[in-house]
Each structure stands twice: as C-alpha cells, then as structure tokens.
Chain A
Amino acid sequence: MIVVNYLAAAALFALGLFAVLSRRNLIKIVMGLSLMESSTYLLLISLAYRKGSTAPVLLGPPPGSSPERLAHGNVADPVLQNFCLTAVIIGVAITGVFLAVVVRTAQHYRSLDSDRIRELRR
C-alpha cells in the first residue's frame, strides 16, 4: 500500500479521462485512453506492494535461501503483477486496432476532428 501511488494513479486516470471527454482530436483521445490504461497498471502494482517485500521471483534464490522459503516470506503479490502483464498484452493489441482505425479515418475524412466525424446520430 502506497498512498501517494494511489493518488498518482487517480490523477493520471482523471487526466486521461479529461482528454477523452474534452479533446476532439482522435489521436488525443487515443492518448488519453493510453494514459488511463497506464494509471490502472500503477494502481495494480501498488496494490501488490507489501512493506519491505521482495519481487515475487522464486527461481534462482539467493545463497542460503530456497524457493519455499521465499514463497513463505514477504514477497509482492504476483497475481496482480500477472494481471498487469495480461492487460499490457491486450492493451497493445487494442492500441494497434485503434491506430489502424484512426489512420483509415484520416485517409477517408481528411480530418481527425471527432465533431466532424459524426454521420451516425439520432
């Protein structure tokens, strides 16, 4: 638990959301979403932290220790770190699709203004 990290994560999330809500440029919207995504990683890694803990690496223990002792000792929560790894992979795929759509949109509409790309309404 690191309070300042939680505050930083909340601030980053709010900043990203602000960009999504207020920027009309599609690239800036994608950047805002990336910022929100990063803030969730910061939150999760901070949730996984234990005071005075070591990284949850059980292979190759330091001299005088064993994987079992490491696992019973004070390590950061590997499950939440694992969540982040999964989400990073998903995030990369989604950003790829996102940018592909933005590129095709720019080619077709000759604009990146979300206010001018709204044929579908009502």
Chain B
Amino acid sequence: VSPGTLAPLLPVPVLVLLAGAALAPLAARLHRRLPAVVAVVAAVTATGLLLAFAPTVYGGRLLVDYLSGVLPVHGAALGIAFAADPFGLTYALVASGVGAVLAGYTLSELSGLGRRELGGYAALFLLLDGALVGSALTADVFNLFVWFEVAALASYALTGFFLERPVALEAAFKVLVLTTIAGFLVFVGTALLYSEHGQLNFGALHEALHHAAAHGHLPPVDRIALALLVAGFATKAGLAPFHGWLPDAHTAAPGPVSALFSGLMVNLGIVAIGRLVLQVYGPGTGIPVLGVLTVLGLVSALGGALLALVQDDLKRLLAYDTVSQLGVVAVGLATATTTGTAGTVWHLVNHAVFKSLLFLCAGAIVHLAGVERLSQMGGLARRRPLIAVAFLVGAASVAGIPPLGGYVSVGLIHQGLLDSGQPVVLALLVLAQVVTVAALARAAYLAFFARRGEPYGELGRLRPGMATGFGVLAALSVAAGVLAGPLLPRVAAPAAGWLLDSAGYARAVLAGGGHLGAPAVPFDWADPLELALFGVSLAGGLLLAVAAVRRPFAGRVAALLRPLRAVQTGSVNDYAGYLTAGVLVVAAALLL
C-alpha cells in the first residue's frame, strides 16, 4: 500500500477507540457483558489498523495527515497534524495491543459487575486508551494538551469508579488536584509557545525555535514554556517530585485499572517529554534540559526503588517501582544518544508489558484471596502456581535476567550513558537497579514462598480469561528479549533515528511525509561489562532482599528508610507543595 493511501487513515484507530467508548454504555442495554466485548473488539481493531501502518513506518517513512486537509501554507501550519513516526507508532501499538489484553482480562475478572457499571467502565477504559493512541500520533502541541486532558478525565473517573472502597475517593481527589495543576502548566506552556512563535505544529515550532536560537539567545519565555511543559508532563509520567498521585491511584484501583495506569497511561507523559525535548526543542537550543531530566530521572529511580523496598501493600510497592522505572526511562531519554534512546523506546515497551503483568498478578491476588498486604500473604506459590509463575516472569524481566526484555533495554541505556560519558549516572542507575531487584525479590518471597500461619479462608479460582491474560503478557515479556535481535534494528533503531533527527522530523512533518534510514544500534548479549553489571545488581539485590526480610537486619533497613517514607505524608496539600517546588526548581534550572 502506498503512503499516500495510508496517511489519511492515521486518525482512524483513535476514532475506533472513541466510537467504542460511545457505544459501550449503549451496548450494556442489550446484554450485560456486551460492553466488555465492545472494548475488546475496539482495541483489537485499533491494533490491527495500527499494524497496517507498521511496515511503512518502520521502513523509515514518516506518515503525516493534516486533519480536514488543512495543509501548511508557507511553513505555517494551522491545521492539526497527525504524524506516525516509529516512536509514536510503537507507543500507540503498545497502548492498543496491551489495552486489548487488559480489556479481555477485565471481561473475565470483573464480569460480576452490573450492567451500568460494566458499560461505564468499558467507556472510560476505551476513552483513556483512545487518548493514549491520539497523544502518540499527534504532531500538534495543543492537540497533545487535549489528549492529555481526555486521558486525565478518564483516569479521574476510573480511579474513583469502584466506590465501595473509600480509599478510592481519597485517591481520586489527589489525582484530580495534581493532574489539574499539571494541566494548567501544560496549558500555559503551550499558550506561551504559541504567543511567542505563532505556531503549534511540532515541525513549525522546531523551525521557529531554531531560527530564534540561530539569531542569538532564545528569549526566556521559551525556557519558561519548556519548564512548564516538562513539569506538567512529568506529573503525568509520575517522576519525583511530581509523583504524589501515582501510588495512591494504583493502590485504590482494581488490578486491570492499575495495569492500564501504570503500564500505559504514565507513558503519555514520557512520550510527550521525549517529543518536546528531543524533537521540538532539539539539541540546537542550548537549554540544559537534558541535565534536568537526568536529575529528575535519578531521583525517581532511586527514591521509587527505596520506597518500594519496605512497602507492605503489594500494589503500592509495584506503583513505587513504576516511579523508579519511569526514572530509568527519563535518564535513558536524556542521554540523547542512539543506543540510549533506542534502549528508552525498548524499555517503554518492556515496562508496559511487565508492569501490566505484575499489576494483574497483584490484582488477582487481591481479588481471589482478599488480602492486599504482603504480611498477610504467603504460600501462594503452592496454592496458585500460575500467578506465581506469571509474577516471577515479570519480576525477572524487571531484574534484567537474560534472555528477558529488561536485560536488553537496561543494557542499551547503560551503553548510552557510557557513550555520552556519564559514568557517575550509570553507577547511580545500577544502585537503583540493586534496590529494585531487592524490592521485587522480597515481594515475591513474602507473597509466594513465605510460610503463612493460618490457611486462607476463601481462595477464589483463577478464571480461564485471567490465565490467558497472564499467558499473553508473560509471552510478550519473553519475546521482547528473545526476539530483540531482529526487532531492535527494525523498531527501536528507526524510533531513535527519528527522535534524534529533530530537523529531519520537522521538515518531514511540514512537507507531509519523509524518509529516514535507521541508525545502527549495536547490542551484544555477551558484552562483558553488561554481564558484570547484571551480576552485581542481581547479587546485590538478592543480598539486600535477604537483609530486608531477615529479623536482625529488617528493623535496621526499615529504620534507615523511615525519614524517606515520612515524605509520603498522604496529605494532598503536601503533594501539591512538592509539585510546586519541582516546577520552581525545573524553571530555575532551565533559566540559568
């Protein structure tokens, strides 16, 4: 199929998901379970349509569609552009594909819901998924803000959806406050950019910014706009210190919703940051934003991992690990090297898969056994071996055990850090990885292998649909590693190429299409340094996990982490304060 016929179809996957969102509540009138079927069908259809773009886009071609055919005139683009580059398409595919798996899983786990609940749930689910696909494909700053708000609105409702748990209300309020403030930041940042340059299109903005940078210093308003946009999207991505909402939202929601939030929604923030920092502003503007991203990433990676280490609530532990993993992604993005960026793209895919899997496992335990805390679990490996296997596959991918996906993506990010000459950052990232391995090993031990004093009162059966969800996601985790050889040069390398060639991307968006060859992304499974780092993090992590569980040391570890944990006060005022402080620090750093 020629690019000319494919490009006008770019908005169709989003439309399919949004149409599904509108149809789902109506379908509930016909049959109770029909909304969930609508959700699965819409997500599978969207994935299929996106796959139709894949050969062209991964072949190095940028597909561009100006909605309603409002084309740019003399380099000024007023029409809204959708542009599929390999980076955006990868994220869109993950959002719709994993979304389909999660929708199918929901059909099984939450099928006991009533007619209206299931209709509303499916509508919100598809609305959020559609916004994620839209945000991945858009090439317009204001359109990005609109998708951000659509995703936010759906996430508010999903967090507070299961009102039988009062903590859901508390979590929903915190999500609302923090994400609303983030929305203001993105809104004002976008408006400042527009009023300075009169452009909203990514390509036109890039050219205007570079024109300004080439004629002397960029005006401070461009720096403030970038600070506001980075802070706003970092809130969505859950980077520290903007992360206050994330653990609460994940703790309160049921398993598939947590998986949707953690595996797919937080990526919206990091995808937007990647686009704005690498493609719109690009390397030529001389703003020290990569350094700021590295610092934010390191704080998140270390802080999230440490908070996860002694956490007793399993879902909250996984949520803190999400903060940590998104920190790793931010650090990888900030390397701005081909290997580092390719690793980032791959880690986003990996994280979507393994974190969804881990949250489904945690949600299944809560659903079947009715316990949320690790101290109440134990012995589940014998009672529910399938959940244990699925959890261990996910945890092994996080820990980077070859041949799973995590080894590949973290290895590439490490390589990118060496390429850009940042050994100290690399050392800190390995330290964060040690703590992450420890946190997950401790969780796996306490939930599945530790001895439980009393038998479980009531332990539900694992439904076939749930088992299928585990199977598909576990298989994807393994495939992301085993198939890395053929997939990296075809998916991650072209994505990194388009992300780093900001001038080429800008030209192609404005010209309505373009072509770029994929750079080489060397990856060696037997790289001695990477194997050594893996060995260090695994051995160190297991030792630390033993220390965090065994009696004489466990108290000391907990005491050491008490000051850090006291930061999570649970007060919405404090979290908004952290966010404000973060905005001020980011703005100050970018203005200097």
Give a binary string over A85-122; 1 marks a CB under 8 Å from any B CB, 0 the rest.
01100100110011011101100110000110111111
**Assembly CA distance A115 to B570 (angstroms):** 8
Compute the total of residue contacts between A and B using a CB distance below 8 Å. 122
User: Which residues of chain A are near B177, meaning CB under 8 Å?
Assistant: 20, 29, 33
A93 touches B170 (CB 8 A): no
Given A93-B153, A120-B167, A21:B573 Cβ within 8 A: yes
* Contact A22 to B573, CB < 8 A, known contacts A83-B187, A122-B565, A122-B568: yes
**A-side binding surface: helix, strand, loop or mixed?**
helix
Q: Contact at A43–B191, with CB atoms within 8 Å?
A: yes
Say if the beta carbon of B142 comes within 8 Å of chain A: yes
Cβ-closest chain B residue relative to A121:
B570
Q: Are B153 and A117 in contact (CB under 8 A)?
A: no
Give chain B interface residues in 267-322, CB to chain A under 8 Å: 311, 316
Given contact pairs A94-B153, A101-B176, A118 touches B570 in the complex (Cβ within 8 A): yes
Give every chain B residue within 8 A of A23 (Cβ-Cβ): 573
CB closest residue in chain B, given A79: B194
Q: A120-B170, A121-B568 are contacts. A97–B187 as well, Cβ < 8 Å? A: no
Q: Which of B52-60, B206-214, B247-255 contacts A (4 or more CB under 8 A)?
A: B247-255
A98 engages B571 (CB within 8 Å): no
A interface, size bucket:
35 or more
Residues of A within 8 A of B580 (CB): 17, 21
Is A120's CB under 8 angstroms from B171's CB?
A: yes
Indicate if B163 sits at the interface (CB-CB under 8 A).
yes
A118–B169 CA distance with the chains assembled, in angstroms: 11
A120 and B191 within 8 A (CB): no
Given contact pairs A98-B176, A122-B565, A29 touches B572 in the complex (Cβ within 8 A): yes
Assess whether A44 is in contact with B191, with CB atoms less than 8 Å apart: yes
* Contact (Cβ within 8 A) A108 B169: yes
List of A residues within 8 angstroms of B171 by Cβ: 120
In the bound complex, CA of A64 to CA of B480 (Å)? 68
Interface-central residue, B156, B190, B200, B251, by most chain A CB under 10 Å: B156
Contact for A101 among B152, B173, B569, CB less than 8 A: B173
Residues B191 and A33 in contact, CB atoms below 8 Å apart: no
A-contact 0/1 string along B184-205, CB 8 Å cutoff? 1001101110110000100000
Chain A residues near B222 (CB, 8 Å)? none
User: Known contacts being A43-B191, A47-B191, A120-B171, is A115 close to B571, with CB within 8 Å?
Assistant: yes
* Interface check A40, CB cutoff 8 A: yes
- Note all chain B residues with C-beta closer than 8 A to A43: 188, 191
Check B167 against A94 for contact (C-beta < 8 Å): no
Are B570 and A108 interface neighbours, CB within 8 A? no
Q: A43-B191, A47-B191 are in contact. List 8 more A-B contacts (CB 8 A).
A: A17-B576, A21-B573, A94-B156, A94-B180, A97-B153, A101-B156, A101-B172, A118-B572
Q: What are 20 A-B contacts with C-beta separation under 8 Å?
A: A17-B576, A21-B573, A22-B573, A33-B181, A37-B180, A47-B192, A79-B200, A80-B195, A83-B190, A83-B191, A94-B176, A94-B183, A98-B176, A104-B160, A108-B166, A108-B169, A114-B571, A118-B571, A120-B171, A120-B316
Question: Which B positions have Cβ atoms within 8 angstroms of A?
Answer: 78, 142, 146, 149, 152-153, 156-157, 160, 163, 166-167, 169-174, 176-177, 180-181, 183-184, 187-188, 190-192, 194-195, 200, 247-248, 251-252, 311, 316, 565-566, 568-573, 576-577, 580
Q: Which A residues fall within an 8 A CB radius of B? A: 17, 20-24, 26, 29, 33, 36-37, 40, 43-44, 47-48, 77, 79-80, 83, 86-87, 90, 93-94, 97-98, 100-102, 104-105, 108-109, 114-115, 117-122
Q: Which 3 A-B pairs have the closest CB atoms?
A: A121-B570, A118-B570, A47-B195
